Structure 1
Amino acid sequence: METMIRLNHCRFAMPSKNLEVLTALDVAKTQWYHFTAIVIAGMGFFTDAYDLFCISLVTKLLGRLYYHVDGHLKPGTLPPNVAAAVNGVALCGTLAGQLFFGWLGDKMGRKRVYGMTLALMVICSIASGLSFGKDAKAVISTLCFFRFWLGFGIGGDYPLSATIMSEYANKKTRGAFIAAVFAMQGFGILAGGVFAIIMSSIFKARYNAPTYEFNAVASTVPQADYLWRIILMFGALPAAATYYSRMKMPETARYTALVAKNTKQAAVDMSKVLQVEIVAEPEKIGEERSKSFGLFSRAFLRRHGLHLLGTTSTWFLLDIAFYSQNLFQKDIFSAIGWIPPAKTMNAIEEVFRIARAQTLIALCSTVPGYWFTVAFIDHMGRFAIQLMGFIFMTIFMFALAIPYDHWIKHENRIGFVVIYALTFFFANFGPNSTTFVVPAEIFPARLRSTCHGISAAAGKAGAIVGAFGFLYLAQPKDKTKTDAGYPPGIGVKNSLIALGVINFLGVIFTFLVPESKGRSLEDMSGENEDENEKETTAASV
């Protein structure tokens, strides 16, 4: 009797024994295929970041090209509604894409949908640079149309890349692998700045536009129209380069076995990937596991309702701060005098200055922050890193906001930029990485892509709030001092205070997010509970 109880206990404690292919994945040694998967999935995020953030490099150039007024000395600027649309339309598309492709990834499979998103990104990146029209309104409208669909494709990359990497990885280093995929976003932001520096330098040397020519028409050479188009279209190259490799990846074993209910095919696929022999098991195991609760059912809400609230709320709050800082850092740097006023330089020089500032921030804080997460996430855990990141972001944001007048009056630009860079570092060595990792680990396989898409879409809703809201709120309180017809806002100082409060709320909601370090996906999602209950009942009988 004692032996029987001990055996039953072992079956309960090691539920992955029911499917050898899942056990093999959980305990697999890190090998070359894991790194290949990181690069293939990560290049999608490289492209995502490049495409989403490169627009901030060229928005002022668009204003000079298409909204200058003949005879006026002041450089042209985008009207408030146009600036909001250009900066935010891709985020709207991303939100829609995360919901749609996240759901589709659970219905059709990760691999099949993966190719769709990448193809859409390539086509729309090129089309964005080819935006056409007879006048400014037509060009900007076409640009916004293609950037919406570009964002739609980018949105699909979030749940699919995260889910694929989580389902391929072993449980020991799974966090680092998923975080490494997301860390490619930092290289995408860096690449955008570096490429813009190179191209603006080439244009400056080639056309030798006078740096201190203030006339709006003369200071924007006609050839500058090619500059923003080249910068936008470059994003198609890395996505196109990895399309073939993505199509060669097999479907994940967890989807094949637990959702498609084909455990034999899962064993065959992973035997090739892991280069080990895995026994193919009966189809009925997959069938039994698939008979369970659906999305937003009472059972789902009981088991994962607070988890989903935690992942959506923290991602929403994080992206308000993160995207407002990224998309409008050029305005903050202009406010503190790090980037000279637009009237003191021509359009190409302005692109160069903005790109140089963004590159410096990315190189010194954004990229290191991502890779600190990769290095420590499986040691410190997701919860600790996210909590720490939100706490430090709150501290540094208040450190910028409260003595803001001091930074401006004393022109202490270096101190301001250092603290500002630290907020990016702890965003990435913190919630910007962990909010991506955790939703890919804690939900059932049949709902994993959908729930990650919902969480990511909540984040993009926050990004939209940041992109549209910060544009207006950061305007001076005095209407006479606002630029280009913007309504009066609360000023940069109060906007930074608001972002500090938002980060503090992130600290609170982090306590709803479970720790998934070192645990199998099936243990975290509770997918083995029904099976174990059946075994326990049978043993007791």
Structure 2
Amino acid sequence: MARPEQQQGLQVLSALDAAKTQWYHFTAIVVAGMGFFTDAYDLFCISLVTKLLGRIYYTDLSQPNPGTLPPGVAAAVNGVAFCGTLTGQLFFGWLGDKLGRKSVYGMTLLLMVICSIGSGLSFAHTPKSVMATLCFFRFWLGFGIGGDYPLSATIMSEYANKKTRGAFIAAVFAMQGFGILAGGIVTLIISAAFRAAFPEPAYQDNAAASTGTEADFVWRIILMLGAVPALLTYYWRMKMPETARYTALVAKNAKQAASDMSKVLQVQMEDETEKLEEMVSRGKNDFGLFSPQFARRHGLHLVGTATTWFLLDIAFYSQNLFQKDIFAAINWIPKAKTMSAMDEVFRISRAQTLIALCGTVPGYWFTVFLIDVVGRFAIQLMGFFMMTVFMLGLAVPYHHWTTPGNQIGFVVMYAFTFFFANFGPNATTFVVPAEIFPARLRSTCHGISAAAGKAGAMIGAFGFLYAAQDPHKPEAGYKPGIGVRNSLFVLAGVNLLGFMFTFLVPEANGKSLEEMSGEAEDNEEMAGAAVQPSQMA
């Protein structure tokens, strides 16, 4: 039984699904991806300078552990941006469905530019007020970063063709790897330059942390440089047209959608206003987020995308933010009291850059090249499984790895956990929520899933700091934890849970967005109902 061609879906959406890879695809990847480059730089560079903040602002010998940020302050400085990110993901995700993807896309970049600069200008009279000001700007920086997640993913998914959509969305997210790498390289260069220009002595057990006033410039410069890539891409973001799927399916403006995509695809699109009006008049695909119909169709999908992202980020951000503590625990980096402040920042950034270069960045691009070949589901399952294996491989023989001479083996195993996080759930949890929900709820549902991830990141940021404390050697002012080894066991268990919850997430490989969301099925039913018996063949 055939249906007339005009009763199928909108031509503009079919053209996007079938479009060959063109220059506008790569432009969209770069414009959206530079947001993630900036996001990663801003979120992860803070972990490179927290040791320096302790050396500069917490040198009072009457306090526990002079030269080190107190645990509460360290957790706040590291984790406050995640609180802002979570809030921003929910707010901008919702706003992106209400006002349009493009309409709010520039707001996030401007917020990131202003707050990156503000973070570096956190001047005050006391250490507490400096940290409070820094946390204030880091929160709003995170708020802007949070908006980039649902908007960038949704824009890229709605621009892409269905054959290579996964690779395009993953490529946007893969810019995060370059951002992490750039944070390490920038810190390495700046600390090396200051170390050469202003040599400092190491401080001893019985002396306060020794830093010159020049060291105060280092962390400020590193944080403020995060504004540069965001500022450079603002103009191009403002030039991008609204996505055709939002304009047609949510704003109900078929004429504008055809006009925008005619310019993008460089082909003539016909005005399908009458067809869209017919679809709208017969439409039943207009249920809300909290409706029984959404719960029936997509409830488990949302549970799956949110829980897997939540579990992944507990492990992923624990690993990233506290690499410096793990490297010190296995004696790969010398004890702080044997180094000057600049030496310590230099060694930490060198170690993290090496991990990013060898494990983090390659993992992202393996996903880009293979996600449309083997599928999202298989990559996510494999990633969670291999992360579990390598975490156990670190934890079970932990005392072997911490023996002098074996640290390089630990670092190699540790790099593999990053590789399989990025060639695995860190990429797929970002891709899938942008593909499986209806257009009018796509940005909101991605924001909810991403916010669940940041809730996991906060557990990683706040929880791991305390959990990793040595239970047998609690220092003054620190509560004893379960130790690094037991923390690795916990993270292995978290990854195993992520493996199991992956079975709630559907495979979107090779299908159009409307097929995955059910919108195509509804439109076919409407078209079928509209066909008279005399029209059927």
Matched, 1:33 2:24: yes
Which residue matches 2:3? 7
Cα distance 1:197–1:290, how it changes in 2: closer, same or farther (>3 A)? farther
1:324, 1:218 → 2: CA distance?
A: 27
Matched, 1:158 2:158: no
Which residue matches 1:341? 335
Which residue matches 1:536? 528
TM-score (norm 2): 0.96
1:441 to 435, 456, 462: 435
CA deviations on 1:233-278 (whole Å, 9 max, x unpaired) are 0000000000000000000000000000001100000000010111
Q: Is the 8 A contact 1:80 1:484 kept in 2?
A: no
Cα distance 1:155–1:290, how it changes in 2: closer, same or farther (>3 A)? farther
Q: Is the 8 A contact 1:71 1:215 kept in 2?
A: no
2:311, 2:79 → 1: CA distance?
A: 17
Q: Is the 8 A contact 2:362 2:419 kept in 1?
A: yes
Runs of 4+ residues over 6 Å off in structure 1: 71-74, 212-215
Shift of 1:27: 0.3
Matched, 1:403 2:397: yes
Cα distance 1:236–1:492, how it changes in 2: closer, same or farther (>3 A)? same
Cα distance 1:7–1:533, how it changes in 2: closer, same or farther (>3 A)? closer
2:142, 2:362 → 1: CA distance?
A: 26
Matched, 1:90 2:86: no
Which residue matches 1:383? 377
1:258, 1:74 → 2: CA distance?
A: 59
Moved more, 56-65 or 73-82: 73-82
CA deviations on 1:306-357 (whole Å, 9 max, x unpaired) are 1001100000000000000000010000000011000000111110000000
TM-score (norm 1): 0.95
Which residue matches 2:444? 450
Which residue matches 1:223? 214
Shift of 1:532: 1.9
Shift of 1:409: 3.0
- Structure 2's unaligned 5+ residue stretches are none
2:488, 2:209 → 1: CA distance?
A: 36
Which residue matches 1:180? 171
RMSD between aligned alpha carbons?
1.7
1:290, 1:446 → 2: CA distance?
A: 13
Cα distance 1:216–1:97, how it changes in 2: closer, same or farther (>3 A)? farther
1:74, 1:464 → 2: CA distance?
A: 25
1:129 to 120, 124, 133: 120
Shift of 1:64: 0.9
1:465, 1:86 → 2: CA distance?
A: 14
Q: Is the 8 A contact 1:73 1:215 kept in 2?
A: no
CA deviations on 1:63-99 (whole Å, 9 max, x unpaired) are 1111112599965111111111001000000000000
2:199 to 208, 217, 222: 208
Tell me how many residue pairs correspond in the alignment.
Answer: 530
Which residue matches 2:270? 279
2:516 to 509, 516, 524: 524
Identity %: 73
Which residue matches 2:504? 512
- Structure 1's unaligned 5+ residue stretches are none
Letter in structure 2 aligned against 1:6: A
Which residue matches 1:392? 386
CA deviations on 1:178-208 (whole Å, 9 max, x unpaired) are 0000000000000000000000011011112
Matched, 1:306 2:300: yes
Which residue matches 2:493? 501
1:343, 1:286 → 2: CA distance?
A: 70
Cα distance 1:72–1:220, how it changes in 2: closer, same or farther (>3 A)? farther
Cα distance 1:155–1:192, how it changes in 2: closer, same or farther (>3 A)? same
Which residue matches 1:331? 325
Letter in structure 2 aligned against 1:317: L
Matched, 1:100 2:91: yes
